[in-house]
Amino acid sequence: MSLRTLNSPGTANTRRVLGVMCAGMFLVLLDVTIVNVALPSIGHNLRTDSAMQQWVVDGYVVAIAGLLLAGGAIGDRIGHRQVLLAGFAIFGAASLACALAPTVGVLIGARIVQGVGGALLLPSTMAVIVDVFPDRGEQAKALGSWAAISSLALPAGPLLGGLLIGWLGWRPVFWINVPLTIAAIVATLAVVPARPRLPRDGRLDIPGLVGFVAGLGGLVCTLISAGHHVGWPILSVSIAVTIAGLATVLISARRSTHPILPLDLLGRREFLSPNVVALTMNLVVNGMLFAGMLYLQDVQHYSPLAAGIAVLPLAVPLIALAPVSGRITGRRGPRTAIAAGCLLALAGMPLFTQLGSGHGIAWLLAGFTLLGCGAGLVTASSVAAVVRATPPDRSGLATGVSNTARQVGTATGVALFGAIAGSPASDHFVDGIHLLALIAAALWTGALVVTLTGVRRR
């Protein structure tokens, strides 16, 4: 199959490729949201505290965020089809290990390996879509569809997790990935063509990659440790690792021919700004989802399934508005959709300050609704803004940066929100959510300013 035939917008071939790429993204995001509802069951079954439960989420996300840039760069060098196949295989094998984990330490280790597979999948799914939809209008619509379908992971995770946990326990939450990844490998082999290799000189920036993983892991460890008052010895080490890791990234970025952190791209305001907004969105959405699931199950004593249903006001508008965002971006450029999304999400933050230990579910649902509407408009438009600000021959690296920003937001959001809210058994947990709502409002205000000053109109 020729790339010219494949790139004809709207053909059956492009639709099949888009479907497989959406499935890959869906799988990776599903394992962020499905685990949130499983955390209380995992904690009870494996007898672990809330700090280790945070690592069950963040071990996965830190691995994804830390390695996404490498995944995009590797895809640019050897072809995104090969990277997709490797990502699905690693993800499926690690999911099996998670399902069999006898202790929380083994589970966290397997989740980290899962994250390695996810880091290979995410940038390649976006890069393939960009390749097969070169027209900007069609590209924006395709990315909108990609965002909408992949966003199904938000409601599907808690709902599916609630059903599986209620019937069979938490381990099938991971078992289910095994047949899905096998099917995805078969579909990739059948419909995704091999992309011609682009000539690349130089080696992968290993020092920068190691520094980025260490720096991000140290930051998350610092936030979680501070929130659970582990003491200064551990905090001092994690802070030192964070500083050393991030310093290594910056030094390597200035010396390496092909740095893992593309300072030249990040130096462009039109490229950096939508990534900052995407990071903010994931930080608030996933942080509030993490705290909200603990509030629903441990404070309001909802069942896992009922808690999953309560996420629908967040998830449904996020899904419904993603293609709308793509159409707005195709016609008017990304700034309009991103700014509108920031305003809607900002309007929802004060509602979370009304939550109480004995009431507040209506306020939670209303806040989730506005947050979902805002995120639905921001998701596809921010991706389109990143792509438009990037040279075509660096699409893999650029989409790697975009997804890295999102996953850094998720990792720091879970760590930060968990640290500030504290244990659900504490009398100060609900007060912590009130404070988080105010912090989130300030973050959305900053994202709006960044959008108006840094994101392209068209």
pLDDT value of residue 9: 43
Report, in angstroms and rounded to the nearest whole number, the Rg of the chain calculated over CA atoms.
20
Residues 212 and 281 both lie in one domain: no
pLDDT band at 117 (very low <50, low <70, confident <90, very high): very high
Mean pLDDT, rounded, for 18-24? 83
The last residue of one of the domains, among 236, 257, 278, is 257
Domain end point (choices 257, 280, 303): 257
Are 169 and 235 members of one domain? Answer: no
Contacting residues for 182 by C-beta, under 8 A, at least 6 apart? 92
State how far the Cα of 280 lies from the Cα of 126, in Å rounded to an integer.
20
Say whether both 210 and 152 belong to one domain.
Answer: no
- Per residue in 57-108, pLDDT (tens digit) is 888 988 888 887 777 778 777 788 888 899 999 999 999 999 999 998 899 9
Number of domains in the chain: 2
In a shared domain, residues 268 and 249: no
Full residue range of the structural domain in which residue 17 is found? 3-193+258-454
Mean local confidence (pLDDT), 30-47: 82
| E strands present in 341-405 | none
- Fill in the amino acid letter for 406: R
Residues 264, 242 share a domain:
no
Q: Which of 30, 375, 292 is nearest to 180 (CA)?
A: 30
User: Are residues 189 and 119 part of one domain?
Assistant: yes
Burial class (CB in 10 A: 0-12, 13-18, 19+), 215: buried
Same domain, 328 and 446: yes
Structure-token match 């760069």, residue found: 73
Rounded percentage of the chain residues whose pLDDT exceeds 90: 25
Greatest CA separation for the chain: 63
Residues 28 and 75 in one domain: yes
Same domain, 91 and 167: yes
What tokens appear for 422 in the block?
């504290």
Residue 71 makes CB contacts below 8 A (sequence gap 6+) with 83, 87, 119, 120, 121, 122, 123, 124, 400
pLDDT band at 230 (very low <50, low <70, confident <90, very high): low
143 and 70 in one domain? yes
Mean pLDDT over the full length of the chain: 83
Q: Which helix (H) or strand (E) holds 328?
A: helix 312-332
Shortest CA distance to 292 belongs to which of 369, 230, 379? 369
pLDDT band per the 50, 70, 90 thresholds, residue 424: confident
* Same domain flag for 332 and 446: yes
Could you give the CA distance from residue 235 to residue 164 in angstroms, rounded to a whole number? 37
Most confident of 91-105, 121-135, 304-318, 425-439: 91-105
Single pTM value for the model: 0.80
Token pair, residue 217, equals 């892991």
Together in a domain, 231 and 363: no
Query: 213 with 66: CB under 8 angstroms?
Result: yes
The domain that contains 115 carries what CATH number? 1.20.1250.20
For 250-309, what is each residue's pLDDT tens digit? 898 888 777 777 788 888 888 999 999 999 999 999 899 888 888 888 888 888 888 888
